[in-house]
Amino acid sequence: MPILEAQQRLSTLPRADELLVECCKTREGQHLYVFPFEGRFVHEGLGFLWGYRFAQQKTATFTISVNDYGFEILGPKGYPYADLFSSDFFSLKNLEEDIRASLNISELTQRKFRGVAQVAGLVFKGYPGSRKTSSQLQVSTSLLYDVFTKYEPDNLLLKQAEREVLQDQLETHRLAKTLSRLDQRSVVWKTLNAPHPWPFRCWLNASILGCRTKH
């Protein structure tokens, strides 16, 4: 209750038919906080997607962070989020293509490929009593990933890793439904002097574990 009271006093508590968007400027840059309340994985996909759609209009390097409340897009100082925002950010048109373009999909896919390659038996884990270290396995799978990406981009194991990222990690099926729901809400913009209770959590996540994406 104290957090909700502070949020109401310093910003607002969105109704069920509203989408709260908060902006503030710090020495780190221009912050955009969005609160769909749809879960961490969906917020991760939304953060990268919106970052990409902003950058399509004005190029920038963003740091994306998420929590269970929503997501943050941190851009350069003075980045004009409000001027660039439109209903196109909720569009389902070319959704999967935009997600692929928006993510550092190669990094996410490469991490997923490690597990796929080991299950498929492409990576030798060593003999009993002389197992390879995790760093050695990582080097082996990274080499395989680089070779397949360069010379066999349609490799089924690569496609499997990408499919698992899109479907399992980012939950693109839920992401599409979320965009449709958000499109029916009224967007409430608030300009803050500093991160308040809800955005503070995203800001803290970003300072600990941010993911940078450049477009």
Alpha-carbon dihedral sign for residues 114, 120, 122, 123: positive
Query: Which amino acid is present at 51?
Result: G
What's the pLDDT at 209? Answer: 38
Q: In the prediction, which pLDDT does 12 show?
A: 76
CB 67 within 8 A of CB 195: no
Domain boundaries, the chain: 2-103+171-214, 105-168
CA dist list (Å): 36 to 147, 176, 179, 212: 39, 13, 10, 21
Q: Which residues contact 75 (CB under 8 A, 6 or more apart)?
A: 29, 30, 32, 54, 60, 61, 62, 81
Q: Are 157 and 144 in contact (CB under 8 A)?
A: no
What confidence score (pLDDT) does residue 198 get? 59
Q: H or E segment at 179?
A: helix 172-183
CB 103 within 8 A of CB 48: yes
Over its length of 215 residues, how does the chain's per-residue pLDDT go in tens digits? 877 787 777 777 888 899 999 999 988 899 999 999 988 888 888 998 999 999 999 999 898 888 888 999 999 999 999 999 999 999 999 988 888 887 666 677 888 898 898 888 888 777 777 777 777 777 788 889 999 989 998 999 999 988 888 877 777 888 999 999 999 999 999 988 876 665 555 555 544 334 444 45
User: Alpha-carbon distance 60 to 82, whole Å?
Assistant: 15
Q: What is the pLDDT of residue 206?
A: 46
**What amino acid is encoded at 27 in this protein?**
R
User: What is the reported pLDDT for 105?
Assistant: 62
Cα separations in angstroms, 121 against 86, 94, 126: 47, 35, 12
